[in-house]
Amino acid sequence: MIRSGDLFAGLATSSSEEEISVLANSPGARIERIVSTGQASPPGFWYDQDWTEWVFLISGSASLQIEGEEAPRILRPGSYVEIPAHVRHRVEWTDADQPTVWLAVHLPR
């Protein structure tokens, strides 16, 4: 089956929760569209994943803190980051004035 769609279709302009949609899933990778509307990681929370995550910011803006780095990375459209397995990271903020659209690719170690 051939699947297709529009990454910008049905974007929420505000929501209390991030919206995560799986676009593709196979044994070698999972691809998600994440829509953030002002969300951030809870205080003191760090992601520590068993897989590599490659993220690409399509629209909006966000701040990503990588453990051990002095300053957060400010992401704008076109920014991408590859986060290896078990590298702790957190989202400091996402744009509250417009949807922040991420493309996240989850890869095995």
Rounded Cα–Cα distance for residues 38 and 14 (Å): 8
Rounded Cα–Cα distance for residues 57 and 101 (Å): 6
Residue matched to tokens 């990778």: 29
Question: What tens-digit pLDDT sequence spans the chain (109 residues)?
Answer: 898 999 999 888 888 899 999 999 999 999 999 999 999 999 999 999 999 999 999 999 999 999 999 999 999 999 999 999 999 999 999 999 999 999 999 998 7
Tell me yes or no: is domain 19-107 CATH 2.60.120.10.
Answer: yes
Q: Where are the domains of the chain?
A: 19-107
- Taking the complete model, does pTM exceed 0.85, yes or no? yes
